[in-house]
Every structure is written in C-alpha cells, then in structure tokens.
C-alpha cells in the first residue's frame, strides 16, 4: 500500500487489517514497517504492507528509499509485492497521480484507491472513477476510509486472481527517448534488472542527479554508469534540462487525464481548512491557541487523572498490606513488598497521565493540527538554523524521543537531521512525566496548592527543555555543522474530525507498552535494586534500615557518586536513583520506592511522596526541600538518562561517536545548570 503523505493511506490500512497488524522496523534502517492481514471474499489471508508515504520514487530520505526499494524488488527482507494499492487523495488528484504514474511504469498489478471522496465533494470536486479506470486500465475503487466506504469493493478487487496491467498513455519526450532505451538495455543486460524495472530505473536515473541515491544498495555497473555520463555530457553541452523535461512530460500527461475525469461542480471559495487556518496559523492568534492547547494538556494531566491515580494507589497499597500479612517475615516477603510491589507499583500509578498525554498527541495528529504547529514554529526554528520540518520530530519527542528521532528520516539535509537527532532528547518525553509528577507532589502538597499551579510548574519544565533544544541547535549550527538555513516546503493537510477509534487504539498500544516495560524491565531493575540494597547483610542484626542500605552494594555506589552530586543538593540515595534511571528515566521513581520502602521500619505502607518528605540528611536537615525537588526536575530536563535512546541514536547515525557526544554534553549541561540553580538558591536563602 503506497501513497502521498496525508492521503489517508494509514487510515485505509487500519480499516482493512483491523487489529491483525504488527509494527517493526526494516532491517538495517530505522524506518517503521507496518504489516497487517486482511481476508479475501473467500477467506484467504492477504498480507498487506503499509509503506512510508512519498510524493515520487525519486527518494530523498531514508523512508522514501524504503518505498522505492521494496517496489523495485531490491530488499532481500521484503519480497516484491504481488500487487500494489495506490491510495490517492481525490481532492488533490493531479498531484497524487504523479507517484501513481511512476508506479504504473513498473508493470505490476495495481489497484487505485480513490480516497477522501467526501472531502473532494465538500471542495466542489467530482471525480469520475469509472473514466479514471478506463484511462489508466487498472481497477479504481472510490473510498472513504474514515467512514468505511469502499472497503468491500477493495477486498473484492484484491480477491481477483488476475488484474489487468496498466495501459496509461505517456510517451517519453523524443530527444530523451534514445537515452531511456539505451539505459534500459544496459540495466537489463549488465545490471540484471527485469525489462520494466529497468525502464523505470532508467527514467529515475534521468530524473534524479544523484546516481548513488537512485541505485541505493545496488551500485550501477560500469557500462551503465558510462552510458549515463555520456548522455549527461551531451545534454550539458546542448543546454538541455532532461530532468525538467521528463517531469514536465509526466505532468502534461496527468493534466490531460485529469481534464477527462475531474469536474468542478461549484466554486466553493475558501475551504473550511483555509477559514480555520486564518485563525490557527495567524501570527498572533495562532500562538495564543497553541499556548492554550499546551496549557489544557498539562492541566488535564493533573485534574482528569487524579481519581484513577488514587484508585491505583489505594489498590497497590492494599495489595502490599495483604502480602505482608499473608507471608512470613523474611527476605522473600521484603522482596515482594519492598522490591516488586513498591518498585512496579510506583510506576503503574502514573499510567493515567501517560494515557492522557498520548490521547492529546493522537488528537492533534489526527485532526491535522500537528502540521500547523510545524508551520508556526518555522520562523522561530529558522532563528536557530533549522526549519519547521525539524519541529515535527521534536514535537513527537514530547511523547517519546525514540519515534521522534526516527521521524528525522524525513529531513533531507544530513546536517539538519543530525542536529535534530542530537537535541531531540531535550524535549521532555513521557518517561520524565513520573519524575516530574513525583517531585511536584513532594514539593507541593495537593491539599494546599491548586492544580493550576502544578500544571504551571509542569509547563515550565517542558518550556525549559524546549528552550534548551533550541539553544543547542543554534550552537551546533554555528560550530559543528555550519551551513545556511534550509527552506521548508510542507503540505498542510485538510482538517478532519478526530478519529477516536484510531486515537484510542494508539493510546492503548502505548499504554500497554508502558505496562509491559513495568512488568519486564522495571520489574527486573526493581528486583536487582532490592538485592543491591539488601546485600551484603549488615553484621549487626539490630542495624536500622538506613544503616543496612548504606553498607550495601547500592549504598557503596551511591556514596562513591555523592561527592559529585552533593553540590547539587543530592545525597547518595538520590545518586542510586540517578544510576539506575539510565536504563529508563521513569525507573527513578521505582528506585525511590524500593530505597525508601526498604527504609520503612513499620509494617504500614507509606506513600512514596510522604516518605520523600520525611527523608533527612544525617544532620537532621530535610533532604527533599523545594529547592532540591526543583533542581532534580531540572536535572532530568537536561540529562540523557535513557539507554534506549542512546541505542536508537547509534543506529540512526551508524556510529558511537554521536551518542557518546550526546551523553557527555547533556549530562554535563544538567550538572552545570543544576549547580548554578542550587547554589544560587542557597545563596538567596532558599
């Protein structure tokens, strides 16, 4: 399944495959790979691959290269498809048909899914699907993926054993035709390409100046490269722009086709999206709306999630108390209650906030507002040397830096892509959310401070991370990666009603992934951490819990780190949390749960925030003062603290140089900023 971005391809894929899909990455490249199963009218399973969106086969980014290589049969991990569903936006048919036109050159069985027919009708556009089918010679199915219209007809077309091959009318311009024929013959004879694939690749070589990019992982043979250079030298001497001539020739053919199949039923004037954009991308009102949306998001995290969080907290506490009563005292009971329940329970309690965050992100994406946010950010981003296209990965990094970094594959400029990768982890992701919420709860008791104040502190942390990302992008653009400010050409998709079914599916997928991590990675770390805080046993059986932890393996590691972090207001127990949270930032919360759960000397289950408020330095001074809580939040704004992100950066950059540089500059910045903040606060009497 292929198509332009914003044509509704993924919506149609989800409608066809339902819950029978899996998501992974193509081997060797961090490009998302969605595979689903649909069924023919006779119940035969059909595997459907949702390829990345692209405007043409002239690939200029890694995801577009995957689409080209799969369709040309170049990837060993993905067989060449038996048939291709080309999804097109009926309201923007002429632009969408360029990719279809190139795919028809491949000589593969093709089905055209004419999607968004309802939106075309709203725009006063009527597309004659039957005439388009007659012109192209392939099945054309009118669809409305959002409403489920056309799915039956599409499955029937997929069920046909034989599909007609295209007979679209397009003649290569006369002066270029000999070059196409000669390159096609060489690609067939010397490069082993099938005849139609050879013709399509010859056209790509003459359209795109970068032969390495067109050839992908299969370099051209010496003979083919020689033929291409000869024709280029000849045309350069004649002053012929063969690339523009080929592109113009395709669009001329598409224009003639569209004149026969498109009817303008009425002049609708400015579209609904244009009227909405007059406000949402306005130089003043747009920013006010953007700020209001962010404020509502953070306010909802506190208000809507309060009751389910209390419910989870109560049940975790009750379960812990029941286990303590049911098991005899000893290491096994302590492992279950203070290690597993305290560690995992301290993370699961934040599930409602995580779900709310991903619900809002999905809502903004499905309605089309995400692209408007990138448009708004284009001017501020240009001040730091990037453009609005870089803001989409950064905005996605609010949910998780890993898909945000993967989304940088749409950035054409290699330097800008690397800068975006380096600063993306500074955007406060959902993994930081449990740390922020715990520190805010410790800093501000819920019975004394309104939720608006808490939301304001949360918004401040997100703003601080965003400003940090912009600041380092500006610095890198002027030092490590000098270059001009790239221009942005970006499609603003039409606004659509939110697709709550897809939003909820995405939200629960992310929620399940969060719980799976809590039940695997965080569970394992909680058990290991409990063992490290329990062993070796203190020689004095009457030793307090604090003395036991201090002489344990974890205590020794924390004490070794304490001289480095004490100027920040952190003690060795916080140091243990900083060490373990490199596996995942949210592990800091479970680490605190294990450490302070072990310290509890009675059998009552004490909420973690209350335990933090009662923690003290050896001299009796409180440990988690408001200044320390604020400093700790700022540390997690800037510190890397995510092993998975490091792995993805290494994979994206194909080098350990950049992830190690990222760890160094982010951790160093976090330490320096926190040092200034804490020492300044102490000097002012806080």
678, 627 contact by CB (below 8 A): yes
Taken as a whole, the chain contains a residue count of: 686
Residues 446 and 586 both lie in one domain: no
502: which 2 tokens?
Answer: 């897809």
300: which 2 tokens?
Answer: 């909802």
Those residues of the chain that have pLDDT short of 70 are 19-33, 167-169, 209-218, 267-269, 302, 343, 346-347, 350, 396, 399, 403, 410, 412, 445-449, 451, 484-490, 514, 517-519, 521-522, 544-546, 597-606
Q: How many other CB atoms are there within 10 angstroms of residue 520's CB atom?
A: 10
Residue 249 included in any domain: no
Q: What is the pLDDT of residue 605?
A: 38
Q: What is the pLDDT of residue 396?
A: 67
Residue-range definition of the domain harbouring residue 35: 2-159
Residues 126 and 225 both lie in one domain: no
Residues 61 and 146 both lie in one domain: yes
C-alpha 85 chain-centroid distance: 25
Residue 252 included in any domain: no
Domain tally, the chain: 4
Residues 572 and 646 both lie in one domain: yes
C-alpha 602 chain-centroid distance: 45
Which of 92, 127, 159 terminates a domain? The answer is 159
Residues 549 and 624 both lie in one domain: yes
Residues 465 and 561 both lie in one domain: no
Q: What is the pLDDT of residue 24?
A: 45
Residue 278 included in any domain: no
Residue 277 included in any domain: no
**Spatial CA neighbour of 112 closest among 92, 83, 71:** 83
> What is the distance between the alpha carbons of residues 183 and 491, in angstroms, rounded to a whole number?
34
DSSP 254: H
Q: Is 209 exposed, middle or buried, given 0-12, 13-18 or 19+ CB atoms closer than 10 A?
A: exposed
Residues 370 and 468 both lie in one domain: yes
388: which 2 tokens?
Answer: 């609005």
Locate tokens 């506190």: which residue?
Answer: 302
Q: What is the pLDDT of residue 27?
A: 38
The DSSP secondary structure of 616-660, one letter per residue, reads: B-TTS-BSS-HHHHHHHHHHHHH----HHHHHHHHHHHTSSHHHH
Locate tokens 């097109």: which residue?
Answer: 88
219, 190 contact by CB (below 8 A): no
Residues 429 and 521 both lie in one domain: no
Model confidence pLDDT, tens digit, residues 196-234: 888 888 888 888 766 656 656 567 888 888 888 888 888
Q: Is this structure's pTM higher than 0.75?
A: no
591: which 2 tokens?
Answer: 């680490």
Residues 114 and 228 both lie in one domain: no
Residues 554 and 674 both lie in one domain: yes
Contacts of 526 (CB under 8 A, 6+ apart): 339, 340, 342, 343, 344, 590, 591, 593, 594
Residue 330 falls in which region: left (phi positive, over 0), alpha (psi -120 to 50) or beta:
left
> What is the distance between the alpha carbons of residues 48 and 16, in angstroms, rounded to a whole number?
9
> What is the distance between the alpha carbons of residues 8 and 205, in angstroms, rounded to a whole number?
30
> What is the distance between the alpha carbons of residues 558 and 549, in angstroms, rounded to a whole number?
10
C-alpha 168 chain-centroid distance: 38
Query: To 5 degrees, how large is the angle CA 254–CA 255–CA 261?
Result: 85
For residue 536, whether the previous peptide bond is cis, meaning omega lies within 30 degrees of 0, is yes
368, 492 contact by CB (below 8 A): yes
CATH code for the domain of 103: 3.40.50.300
DSSP 335: I
Residues 363 and 442 both lie in one domain: yes
Residues 470 and 522 both lie in one domain: no
């Amino acid at each position: 399944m292929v198509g332009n971005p914003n044509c509704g391809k993924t919506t149609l894929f989800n409608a066809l495959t339902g819950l029978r899909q899996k998501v992974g990455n193509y081997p060797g490249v961090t490009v998302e790979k969605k595979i689903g199963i649909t069924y023919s009218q006779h119940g035969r399973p059909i595997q459907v691959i949702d390829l990345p969106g692209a405007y043409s086969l002239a690939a200029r980014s890694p995801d577009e290269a995957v689409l080209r290589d799969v369709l040309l049969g170049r990837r060993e991990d993905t067989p060449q498809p038996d048939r291709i569903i080309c999804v097109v936006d009926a309201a923007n048919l002429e632009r969408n048909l360029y990719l279809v036109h190139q795919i028809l050159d491949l000589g593969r069985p093709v089905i055209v899914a004419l999607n968004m027919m309802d939106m075309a009708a709203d725009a006063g556009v009527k597309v004659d699907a039957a005439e388009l089918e007659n012109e192209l010679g392939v099945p054309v199915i009118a669809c409305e993926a959002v409403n489920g219209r056309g799915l039956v007809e599409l499955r029937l077309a997929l069920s046909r054993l034989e599909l007609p091959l295209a007979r679209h009318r397009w003649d290569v311009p006369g002066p270029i035709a000999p070059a196409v024929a000669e390159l096609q013959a060489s690609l067939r004879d010397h490069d082993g390409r099938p005849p139609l694939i050879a013709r399509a690749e010859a056209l790509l070589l003459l359209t795109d100046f970068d032969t390495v990019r067109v050839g992908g992982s299969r370099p051209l043979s010496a003979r083919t490269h020689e033929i291409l250079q000869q024709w280029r030298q000849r045309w350069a001497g004649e002053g012929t722009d063969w690339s523009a001539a080929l592109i113009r020739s395709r669009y001329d053919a598409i224009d003639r086709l569209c004149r026969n199949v498109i009817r303008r039923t009425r002049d609708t004037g400015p579209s609904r999206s244009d009227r909405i954009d007059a406000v949402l991308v306005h130089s003043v009102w747009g920013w006010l709306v953007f700020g209001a949306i962010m404020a509502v998001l953070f306010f909802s995290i506190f208000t809507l999630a309060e009751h389910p969080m209390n419910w989870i907290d109560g049940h975790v506490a009750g379960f812990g108390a029941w286990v303590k009563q049911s098991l005899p005292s000893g290491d096994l009971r302590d492992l279950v209650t203070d290690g597993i329940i305290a560690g995992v329970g301290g993370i699961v309690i934040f599930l409602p906030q995580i779900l709310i965050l991903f619900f809002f992100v999905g809502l903004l994406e499905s309605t089309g507002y995400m692209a408007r946010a990138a448009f708004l950010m284009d001017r501020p981003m240009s001040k730091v040397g990037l453009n609005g296209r870089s803001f989409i990965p950064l905005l996605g990094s609010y949910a998780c830096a890993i898909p945000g970094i993967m989304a940088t594959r749409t950035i054409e400029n290699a330097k800008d892509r690397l800068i975006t990768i380096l600063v993306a982890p500074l955007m406060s992701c959902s993994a930081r959310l449990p740390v922020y919420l715990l520190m805010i709860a410790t800093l501000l008791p819920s019975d004394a401070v309104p939720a608006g104040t808490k939301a304001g502190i949360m918004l401040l942390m997100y703003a601080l991370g965003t400003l940090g990302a912009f600041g380092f992008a500006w610095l890198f653009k002027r030092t490590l990666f000098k270059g001009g400010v790239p221009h942005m050409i970006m499609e603003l998709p039409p606004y659509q009603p939110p697709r709550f079914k897809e939003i909820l599916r995405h939200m629960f997928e992310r929620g399940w992934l969060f719980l799976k991590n809590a039940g695997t990675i965080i569970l394992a770390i909680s058990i290991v951490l409990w063992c490290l805080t329990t062993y070796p046993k203190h020689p004095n059986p009457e030793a307090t819990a604090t003395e036991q932890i201090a002489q344990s393996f974890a205590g020794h590691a924390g004490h070794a780190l304490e001289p480095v972090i004490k100027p920040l207001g952190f003690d060795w127990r916080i140091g243990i949390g900083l060490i373990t949270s490199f596996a995942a930032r949210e592990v800091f919360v479970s680490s605190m749960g294990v450490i302070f759960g072990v310290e509890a000397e009675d059998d009552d289950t004490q909420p973690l925030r209350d335990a933090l408020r009662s923690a003290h330095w050896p001299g009796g001074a409180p440990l988690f003062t408001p200044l320390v809580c604020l400093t700790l939040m700022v540390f997690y704004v800037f510190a890397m603290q995510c092993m998975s992100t490091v792995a993805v950066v290494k994979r994206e950059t194909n080098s350990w140089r950049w992830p190690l540089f990222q760890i160094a500059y982010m951790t160093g910045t976090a330490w320096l900023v926190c040092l200034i903040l804490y020492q300044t606060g102490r000097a002012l009497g806080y």
